[in-house]
């Protein structure tokens, strides 16, 4: 005989309210999931929109910067066309030197004369003696206008001429710079290798006035020393083979750095043109 299936107690059969509650819970979960997906999609879309906007702004800023540079370069080119074409170079380094002071008894500048051949200084006896040397710089102007330049010396250098020079178009001017150090200092610079023996000697400045303008600077540098050790004699020094014209030297060298030019959109308050 087959056993009879036991009936399900009535209290275990879910009522329609229970079924409805379950479906309500499932529906709420589905709605929450769909809402989350929609929110995520909205966030993604917003991020893409923001990224696109930032990219557009970046491109706009880059284009604006390029336009600003083009405008600034055009203004600089216009200023360049108005500037006189100045050229500065080393004309002569001479071994003529003296240790007799700058001026004669009458007060006139004492000309440099070549020291006797074989002139020797010994340390420490002659360490305090002063030795003057000369460097001549050439400055030319190829136009289109005359140039008024200002000259400034440094590092024990000085001019015998005025510190302002007017150079007409097509003119070339020679500027003599003299340097003075003691024998002890010259000997120290001869022995050293490094930046101390490289010194700015002369700075030439041209200021182009106008609503817009520029300031151009040339720097003349000299390195080394006119003195070299006397072979076989300790603490003895003599003039080295540094006399030259526009060429490399053995113990004393001079060079003109490439000019540096600053541009200004307003010369009255020196507003930099960038």
Q: Is the pLDDT of residue 152 over 80?
A: yes
State the total domains in the chain. Answer: 2
Is 60 exceeded by the pLDDT of residue 55?
yes
Does one domain contain both 107 and 194?
A: yes
What is the band of 50 on the pLDDT scale with cuts at 50, 70, 90?
A: confident
pLDDT higher at 198 or 235:
235
Predicted pLDDT at 245: 46
Whether residue 103 sits in one domain with residue 183: yes
Residue 223 lies in a domain: yes
Q: Is residue 268, in this structure, part of any structural domain at all?
A: yes
C-alpha to C-alpha distance for 104 and 166, rounded to whole angstroms: 28
pLDDT > 90? residue 203 = yes
**pLDDT tens, 216-264?**
999 999 888 888 888 899 999 988 765 444 444 457 788 899 999 999 9
Question: In the chain, where does DSSP find H-type helix?
Answer: 16-82, 183-191
Answer whether residue 24 is part of any domain: yes
| Res. 167: pLDDT tops 90 | yes
Say yes or no: 113 and 226 in one domain: yes
Indicate the residue among 47, 82, 117 that finishes a domain: 82
Domain boundary among 39, 62, 82: 82
Q: Could you tell me if residue 205 is inside a domain? A: yes
Residues 176 and 216 in one domain: yes
φ, ψ dihedrals at 227, nearest 5°: -100, 145
Q: Is 12 helix (H, G, I), strand (E, B) or coil?
A: helix
Query: How much of the chain, in percent, has pLDDT values that exceed 90?
Result: 23
The answer as to whether 6 is a domain residue is: no
Contacts of residue 110, Cβ cutoff 8 Å, sequence gap at least 6: 98, 100, 101, 102, 103, 104
Say if residue 102 is in the same domain as residue 211: yes
* 123 shares its domain with 219: yes
Q: What is the pLDDT of residues 14-35, one digit of tens each?
A: 566 666 666 667 777 787 777 8
Domain of residue 66: give its range: 15-82
In terms of domains, do 77 and 165 share one? no
Final residue before a domain boundary, out of 82, 101, 129: 82
Task: For residues 34 and 156, state if they share a domain.
Answer: no
Do residues 91 and 117 both lie within one domain?
A: yes
Residue 197 has pLDDT above 90, yes or no: no
The answer to whether the CB of 238 falls within 8 A of the CB of 244 is: no
Residue 131 shares a structural domain with residue 205: yes
Residues 67 and 112 in one domain: no
Task: Looking at the structure, tell me whether residues 58 and 94 fall in a common domain.
Answer: no
To the question of pTM greater than 0.85 for the whole model, the response is no
Residue carrying the six token digits 């390029």: 66
Beta bridge mates, 203: 152, 219
């Amino acid at each position: 005989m087959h056993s009879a299936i036991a009936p399900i107690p009535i209290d275990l059969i879910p009522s329609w309210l229970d079924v409805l509650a379950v479906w309500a819970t499932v529906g709420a979960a589905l709605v929450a999931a769909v809402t989350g997906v929609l929110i995520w999609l909205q966030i993604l879309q917003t991020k893409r929109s923001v990224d696109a906007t930032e990219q557009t702004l970046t491109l706009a800023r880059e284009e604006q910067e390029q336009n600003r540079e083009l405008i600034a370069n055009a203004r600089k080119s216009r200023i360049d066309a108005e500037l006189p074409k100045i050229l500065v170079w080393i004309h002569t380094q001479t071994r003529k030197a003296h240790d007799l002071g700058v001026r004669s008894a009458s007060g006139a500048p004492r000309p440099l004369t070549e020291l006797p051949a074989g002139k020797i200084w010994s340390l420490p006896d002659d360490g305090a003696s002063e030795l003057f040397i000369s460097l001549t710089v050439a400055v030319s102007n190829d136009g289109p206008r005359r140039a008024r330049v200002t000259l400034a010396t440094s590092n024990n250098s000085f001019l015998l001429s005025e510190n302002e020079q007017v150079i007409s178009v097509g003119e070339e001017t020679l500027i003599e710079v003299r340097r003075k150090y003691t024998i002890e200092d010259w000997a120290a610079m001869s022995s050293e290798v490094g930046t101390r023996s490289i010194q700015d000697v002369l700075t030439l400045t041209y200021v182009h006035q106008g609503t817009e303008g520029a300031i151009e600077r040339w720097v003349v540098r000299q390195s080394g020393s006119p003195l070299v050790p006397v072979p076989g004699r300790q603490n003895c020094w003599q003039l080295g083979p540094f006399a030259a014209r526009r060429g490399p030297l053995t113990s004393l060298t001079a060079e003109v750095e490439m000019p540096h030019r600053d541009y200004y959109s307003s010369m009255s308050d020196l507003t930099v043109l960038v």
